[in-house]
Amino acid sequence: MRRCCEGVGLPCLFKGVGMAGARPPRFLLVFDFDETIVDENSDDSVVRGRALPEQLRQSPREGSYNEHMQRVLAFLGEQGLRAADFRAVYENIPLSPGMAELFQFLSKHHELFEVILISDANMFGIEAKLRAAGVRSLFRKIFSNPASFDRRGFLTLGPYHSHKCLQCPANMCKRKILTEYLAERAQEEVEFQRVFYVGDGANDFCPSGTLTAADVAFPRKGYPMHRMIQEIQEKQPGAFRAAVVPWESATEVARYLQELLKRKC
């Protein structure tokens, strides 16, 4: 159970810090990667300007995108792309508007926010981009599809896990990952007062459904996650419990969190 000091006469932030026996509050901030941290889909970045064969240009069947990208990466490997080529692509993907400012805010208040990343991209690309941006140390944990280079120098991709969720692709259910992470941290006696989820895609809607009324979903404005939240709010008022704060620039997320630090939680 997440607990808050409000109700016992103490502001949730700062005033309790430094008092005998008190400890700083902890919030969990969850990020997606593609079209959230970075301003485009990293898989699209990899194939941009490259002529794919017809069978790889066709949209994969629903739920099988990970397998599709395995075939795409194998083809690119056959065309001569190696680790340095892929790293250069990932490092040069632009951050989304305002994301650098949000990262600066989180760095300044790192003792208050535990930050994780859950993405259906791949570990190699994510690590390359975060390190190039100088923000890898902000993230306690990254959950993404395993990616490594084989003996040929080809970038290979695998599924993250298996699950039984009917809403998500076969290789990853972000709800399962988030639920298990919260349970693991609870066993370690880390209880979050609030969870914040920053995303954009349909696969971010599934985990955001686990958020409570104390939590906040930050869907990118006009993207699938935002549209799906709006739809459920219209069809089933009250079914989506978290507060919803759409954003066009991540500075809006930073501004919301900054205001949170100025008041009781």
Query: What is the Cα–Cα distance from 247 to 165, expressed in whole angstroms?
Result: 28
- Class for the domain spanning 27-39+94-145+161-263: alpha beta
Model confidence, pTM: 0.90
> Over the stretch 171-202, which tens digit does the pLDDT of each residue have?
999 999 999 999 999 999 999 999 999 999 99
> Could you state, in order of their start, the residue ranges of all structural domains in the chain?
27-39+94-145+161-263
> Over the stretch 193-227, which tens digit does the pLDDT of each residue have?
999 999 999 999 999 999 999 999 999 999 999 99
84 alpha carbon, distance to own chain's centre? 25
161 alpha carbon, distance to own chain's centre? 17
In the chain, helix, strand, coil percent, each to 5? Answer: 40, 15, 50
List 34, 39, 85, 150, catalytic entry: 34
Q: Which tokens belong to 61?
A: 């069947």
Mark the binding-site residues for substrate, compressed into ranges. 43, 120
Strand arrangement of the beta sheet that strand 194-199 belongs to: 139-143, 113-118, 27-31, 194-199, 216-219, 243-244
Q: Reply yes or no on whether 32 is catalytic.
A: yes
Cβ 65 vs Cβ 159: under 8 Å:
no
Q: Which residues, in sequence order, are CB contacts of 262 under 8 Å at separation 6+?
A: none
> Over the stretch 134-166, which tens digit does the pLDDT of each residue have?
999 999 999 999 999 999 999 999 999 999 999
- Please report the pLDDT score of residue 9 as a whole number: 33
3-state SS assignment for residue 88: helix
> Over the stretch 67-109, which tens digit does the pLDDT of each residue have?
999 999 999 999 999 999 999 999 999 999 999 999 999 999 9
Query: What is the Cα–Cα distance from 31 to 115, expressed in whole angstroms?
Result: 8
62 has a pLDDT exceeding 50: yes
Q: Reply yes or no on whether 39 is catalytic.
A: no
Cβ 265 vs Cβ 7: under 8 Å:
no
3-state SS assignment for residue 1: coil
